[in-house]
A = this chain, B = another copy of it.
Amino acid sequence: MRSLKLGMVGGGPGAGIGPAHRRAARLDGHFELVAGAFSRDASRNRAMAEELGIAPDRVYADFATMASAEARRPDGIECVSIVTPNDTHSAASLAFIERGIDVICDKPMATSLADAIAVEKAAATRGVVFALTHNYSAYPMVAQARHLVRAGELGTIRIVAVEYAMGGRYRLVEAEGDAKMAWRVDSAIAGPSTVLGDIGTHAHHLLRTITGLEIESLSAELTTIVSGRTADDNALVNLRFRGGARGHMWACMAAPGNGHGLRIRVFGDQASLHWDHDKPDELAVRAENSPYVTQRRGEPYLGDEAKHASRTKAGNPAGYFEAFANVYADAAEAIRARREGRPCNPLARSFGTAHDGVLGMRFIEAAVDSHRRGGAWVDAMVDALVQRC
C-alpha cells in the first residue's frame, strides 16, 4: 500500500505538538513526510527539514508558498498537517483546501466561530477531507464508551461530568520562558479563551463524542487564578443538553498535582461509565446492585469501533501516540477513499470533523458570552447537523 505524501506547517525545533503529529503519522506507515514549512525562522526551518530528511527544494518559507508550489508539482503533497499556533489554523487550512489538498489540523480549528465556519464551508465546497486532531477522543475505550451509550447500556443519559484540569501552568510560566505558554496567553493568537481553546475544546469534543448530546445552553465562569496572567486559566461551565440532561465541565491549567487531568463520567438512568485518561485502556461500566465491571482495550467483547482503534492485545498498554496515530490512520483512510472514489470505512471516525471544529468555537464563544454576562445561561445551539467521513 502506497504511503500518502504529507506536508507539514509548523512543528519546528522546540515546538510542542509537532513531534507528536510526526510520530502519529509514522506509526502505521500510512504517510511519508516530504515537504514542510516548519518555522518562519529560515535557519530553524532548514534544520528541522534536514533532521527529517526533507529534500531542500520542498522546504518552504510559509504555508502559502508551500500550498501553491506543492499544488503545482506532479509529485506534490496529497495532504498536510497544520500544527502551528491557533491563529494560523483557519488561514492555512483554507490555503490547502482551496488547492484540493486534504487537511489534518490541530485544534482549535480557528480563533473565531466565523473563521471556523469559513473552513467548514470551504472543505464542503471543495470536497476535501478536513480532520481535526482531537486526539484525546481517539482512544479505543472512548469509542467503546460511545458504543455503549448508543447501545442503550446506560439508559437515558441524565448527567455528564467532564474535567480537564491540569497543573502544568500553575505558576506564571509564561514569564519564566515557557514559549508554549507565552503565545497561549496572547488572545490575538490563542483566541477569546485560553483555557477553553487549549483544553476545554478537547473536553467538549470528548463529551460530544461519547454522549452524542447537543448543548442547549450553558452558564460559565472563566477566571484567572494565577496572579499576573493575562488570560483565563480556569473555567467552570454548567451545561443543559437538548432533551434535559445536565452536565458540568471543569477546565483548568493551574491545578498542581492533578496530572494530565482529563476524565469523563456519564450517568444514565440505568448505569454509568467512567473513563480516565490516566488509564486509557480501561472503561468502567457500573450499575447499582451489580458488580463493578471494567472493560479493557483489546478484548473480544468490545464493539467494532474500539477493535478498529486498537493495535495489540489487552495487557500491552496503549498510550498517547497510538490514540494520536488513530487520528492519522483514520484520516489516511478518509483521504484514500476520497482519492479512490470509494466509500470510507465507516469505522474510521476517530478524527474530529470540520463541523466538530465549528461546534467547538461555538462553545467557546457562548462560554465567553455567559461569563461576560455574570454567569447567565446563554443559548449554545448550532443549527446544522454533524456530518462525518
Task: Check if A95 is an interface residue, CB within 8 A of chain B.
Answer: no
How many of these chains are in the complex?
4
Residue of B nearest to A161 (CB): B250
Contacts of A225 in B (CB 8 A): 158-159, 246
Cβ-neighbour of A29 out of B52, B258, B274 (below 8 A): B52
Q: Which residues of chain A (239-298) have a CB below 8 Å from chain B?
A: 246, 248, 250, 252, 254-261, 265, 267-272, 274, 277-280, 284-296
Q: Interface segment, A5-13, A81-89, A190-198, A307-315? A: A307-315
Q: Nearest Cβ distance between residue A377 and chain B, in whole angstroms?
A: 7
Within 8 Å by CB of A168, from B53, B226, B288, lies: B288
- How far does the Cβ of A243 sit from chain B's closest Cβ, in whole Å? 12
Knowing A291-B293, A294-B294, the reply to whether A256 touches B260 (Cβ < 8 A) is: no
Contacts of A277 in B (CB 8 A): 315, 317
Chain B residues within 8 Å of A293, by CB: 291-294
The stretch that binds B, out of A19-27, A38-46, A121-129, A353-361, is A19-27
The SS class assigned to the A binding surface is loop
Q: Is A102 an interface residue (CB 8 A)?
A: no
Give residues of chain A (299-339) contacting chain B, Cβ–Cβ below 8 Å: 299-301, 311-322
> Which of A234, A250, A258, A277 gathers most chain B CB within 10 Å?
A258
Give how many A residues have a beta carbon under 8 Å from the other chain's beta carbons: 86
Q: Is A221 an interface residue (CB 8 A)?
A: yes
Chain B residue nearest to A245 in the complex (CB): B225
Judge whether B259 and A315 touch: CB under 8 Å. Answer: yes
Bound complex: CA of A233 vs CA of B112, how far in Å? 38
Q: Is the CB–CB distance between A19 and B278 below 8 Å?
A: no
Select the residue from A238, A284, A301 with max chain B CB neighbours within 10 A: A238
Q: Contact: A1 with B315, CB < 8 Å? A: no
Contacts of A314 in B (CB 8 A): 259-260
| Nearest chain B residue, comparing its CB with the CB of A33 | B29
Find A318's partner among B159, B170, B269, B320 (CB 8 Å cutoff): B320
Interface assignment of A350: CB less than 8 Å from any CB of chain B: no
Check if A3 is an interface residue, CB within 8 A of chain B: yes
Known: A166-B315, A269-B170, A316-B320. A291 touches B295 (CB 8 A): yes
Do A317 and B315 touch across chains, with their CB atoms under 8 A apart?
no
A51 at the interface (CB under 8 A from B): yes
List A369-388 residues whose CB lies under 8 Å from chain B.
374-375, 377
Cβ–Cβ contact B269 & A159, under 8 A: no
Given A159-B234, A291-B299, the answer on whether A3 and B53 have CB atoms closer than 8 Å is: yes
A2 contacts B by Cβ under 8 Å:
yes
A167 within 8 A of B: yes
15 A-B pairs within 8 Å (CB atoms) are namely A26-B28, A158-B254, A167-B272, A171-B269, A223-B246, A252-B267, A255-B267, A256-B267, A256-B288, A257-B267, A277-B317, A278-B315, A278-B317, A291-B295, A321-B322
The 8 A-B pairs with the shortest beta carbon distances in the complex, nearest first, are A257-B286, A260-B315, A319-B319, A316-B320, A317-B319, A257-B272, A292-B294, A256-B288
Name 17 extra pairs, CB < 8 A, besides A238-B375, A316-B319, A321-B322.
Answer: A27-B27, A29-B53, A158-B225, A158-B234, A159-B255, A167-B272, A168-B288, A170-B269, A223-B246, A257-B267, A257-B271, A257-B272, A257-B292, A259-B315, A280-B317, A293-B294, A318-B320
